[in-house]
A and B are shown apart, each in its own frame.
Chain A
């Protein structure tokens, strides 16, 4: 109420307020346009940056995978050269792992009785346990490799392939107990007669792959994840998800949003793109791209809080500055306008005095040439005129009606 009354009674307050309000509208519209464009620019730049990182990461992943494929191709040549010599397979398996730190293990495995002198099973297996490389013939009744995925897949598909993650366990000698989580590149060995005779399998550690890919982060809280063809996490910063869950695990209990489900499907379908959706409850951009040689799909998750963090801080600072500026503007304007129109109040007061009959009140000399000065001079002229008029009227009355 007081503020309302004050506003109604103060021209300077009203002029100041309207001016500030108008200025606020203009500033808000301008800043909104600038902010909207800036936000889009920030987002575009962020996506470009993340895309560059993704491209580089896909390239790096491809280098790692192609290295392994090259090793398999070279090994195949050696195997076919010395196919009659099973002991050579043991040597090749050993030296491949010894000389390639990228590899966790290597198997050169053959069909039943391929080497009759070796019996039903012959698989030259080498493993790098971190301290040394050991080599053994791994096939036995306890380890019937013919039925395992890394042997069956290349045999059925008759082409090289990457497996899904697995642990390769076997009973028996503790030295052979291998609990490493691996993915393997498996290549069929085709004999000179064009028939399938065995498989080369090269193992790389999933943990190693995960650490390599996750090393680059475009933003502090951004992370990469790599999906296998069955949706399983080959790379993920959460070790519980890595290998144990798939992208679609929450979907088993209807805990995936339609957007998340679509993202998973698009990744499995080897599409590339950008999605804006909630990841672990946080709005994020997910940029994804396939690794076509393996059928895997790599994605980088960039939380919006990271991308727009700087922009939001800038925006909040700007808004705060705007509010403080408008307040200051109001105060300054009020002070200036009030000073400028204060003479009007004095004139109004003098006008009231004159209206009460006192025409002798001294009006101020303002010496201004603006509207206030003009009004001041008009008042003074009016005062003089009124005095003259009243003086003449008095003289006339005295003459007509002498005492």
Chain B
């Protein structure tokens, strides 16, 4: 091969390298769900496993946070581009200057509850020591407790379950699809409405999980974000009609991430998560962020001093 021809080939290759790198980065999304591997994220696992992201031309990697480091921290440090967050956490992040865009709202109802460890109504436990999520997500429980004048002592922890078991707390926040079943699984409490205060049963039904990206990341390539949201929604729709197969996909992720759980808990979680995805009035999976719920969350959190500014739904929409 003559030298001029070789030089031209090398130059062409060198010039194409940045393009390759750029195109790979553009299509790659690192997705960090807000918690460790479990059925709460079944739709995303299904979308990955069944190739829905690939159909949209996306290369998606799912990396879970650990219990002491939140997903929002990973986004701040640009370790992930997309995460899931409950609405209250997204509002909180907004208030702290993190501009977020809601790509897809999966949850249409609230799951947050306060569960008593002492066998009494949590509303009668004024001044109680209550375990709360270190990673956040419980702003509404704090806001409502403030509203009701309960003066709880909040203990942030990465391990609600262990504090609950040891009796080191008087009560704990819980999600109806996750921690509540874990508490029941200890045998220390039974299904008893008296020991559970579920916010959504008392006029505080505020939607939770949604898919979020920073606005900066969104503005770089809105189409990529829309594709991710579309494929994710497709994943969730598939899960709704293929629950047993979805559970298998979930258990694969769980084993890969060495999580301590079992198929019974995951099945109950998936059933509850799918229920929470249905609109209260319509009974359909609406995938819509509701303005009145945003307003209610903002009002509660403002009153409790959890946030400093009044935010609107517009700040979260693309």
Contacts and interface: CB of A to CB of B under 8 A. Distances in A.
A84 interface: no
Nearest to A243: B260
A157 B165 CA distance: 13
A157 B168 contact: yes
Nearest to A247: B187
Interface in B122-174: 134, 155-159, 161-166, 168-169
B264 interface: yes
B186 interface: yes
B287 interface: no
Interface in B276-305: none
B159 A148 contact: yes
B69 A156 contact: no
Interface residues on B, range: 20 to 34
A147 B157 contact: yes
Interface in B181-216: 181, 184-188
Contacts, number: 114
B54 to A, nearest CB: 27
Contacts of B159: 147-149, 152, 166
Interface in A152-171: 152-153, 156-157, 161, 163-167, 169-171
Interface string A236-277: 000010011111111111000000000011001000000000
A249 B260 CA distance: 13
A250 B263 CA distance: 11
Given A149-B163, A152-B168, A153-B166, A144 B68 contact: yes
Given A152-B157, A229-B166, A230-B161, A252 B264 contact: yes
A77 interface: no
Nearest to B77: A141
A231 B186 CA distance: 5
A293 interface: no
Interface in A293-351: none
Interface in B52-85: 66-69, 73
Contacts of B67: 147-148
Contacts of A231: 185-188
Nearest to A145: B68
A167 B185 contact: no
Nearest to A264: B187
A196 to B, nearest CB: 14
Contacts of B93: none
Contacts of B242: none
Nearest to B258: A179
- Of the listed residues B159, B186, B187, the one surrounded by the most CB atoms of chain A closer than 10 A to its CB is B187
A27 interface: no
6 contacts: A147-B67, A157-B166, A231-B188, A232-B186, A251-B187, A253-B264
Interface of B: 66-69, 73, 134, 155-159, 161-166, 168-169, 181, 184-188, 258, 260-262, 264-265, 268
